[in-house]
Amino acid sequence: MGLEEKLPSGFILGKVEDLVGWVRSSSMWPVTMGLACCAIEMMAAGTPRFDIARWGMEVFRASPRQADLMIVAGRVSQKMAPVLRTVYDQMADPKWVISMGVCASSGGMFNNYAIVQGVDHVLPVDIYLPGCPPRPEMLIHSILELHNQVIKGAPLGVNREETIRKVEEAALNAPPTHEMKGLLA
Ligand code: SF4
C-alpha cells in the first residue's frame, strides 16, 4: 500500500525537482540577443500573430540580471563571443540557452575566420534549432521543448552546475569543425 492511499483526497505527491521545474518553465524571461537575420524571426515570435506572450515571454529583457534564457539568434562573430559570454555569466541562475539557426549552431555558411563555428564553443547550449532562418513557429516549438526538459526534472543546485561543467568541457574538447569531414572523409 502506498502513502497516497493513506492521505485524505485532495493531496498530490511529487518530487521537489518536478514542482520547481514546472514553476521555472512557466516563468522564463529571454535576454535581448539578436545578432543577425534570425533575430527578425525571433522578434516576430513576440508579435500578436505568434504571441509568445502566452508563456509570459514577449518582453526581451535589456538586462541580463532580469533574464534566464538566452536565444542566440544569428551568427556569432569572434568579436561578439566574449560579450556573449559576459552577458551569459551575468544572467540569473539557473539559465538556459537556445541556439537559433544554423549560423549560431555551427557557423552555417560562414565557414571563415571571423565567425565562431558554433556558439557551444562559448556557451553551454540546451536546444539547437536548425534552419536558415527558422520560422517563429519553430522557435516556439524549441521553447516548448525546453519547457519540457525543465519540467522533466532538470537537475538542481550543484547537480545542475555539474551538468553544465560537463557540457562545457565536452564542447571545449570537441574537434574544430574544419577538421570534421562528415560523409566526405
Ligand atoms: S541561419 Fe540564416 S537567417 Fe539565421 S543568421 Fe544565419 S544566415 Fe541569417
Ligand 1: which of 100, 103, 111 to mutate, most ligand atoms within 8 Å of CB? 103
Nearest CA, atom 6, ligand 1: 103
Q: What is the mean pLDDT of the chain?
A: 86
Position 89 pLDDT exceeds 60: yes
Question: pLDDT tens-digit profile of 103-145?
Answer: 999 888 998 889 998 898 888 888 999 999 999 999 999 999 9
Cβ burial 149-167 (10 Å sphere, 16+ → b, else e):
ebbebbeeeeeeeeebeeb
Using the predicted structure, report yes or no on whether residue 1 has a pLDDT greater than 60: no
pTM of the model: 0.84
Instruction: Take atom 2 of ligand 1 and give the residue whose Cα is closest.
Output: 132
- pLDDT tens digits, residue range 27-71? 899 999 899 999 999 999 999 999 999 998 988 999 999 999 999
Domain architecture of the chain: domains with CATH:
15-172 (3.40.50.12280)
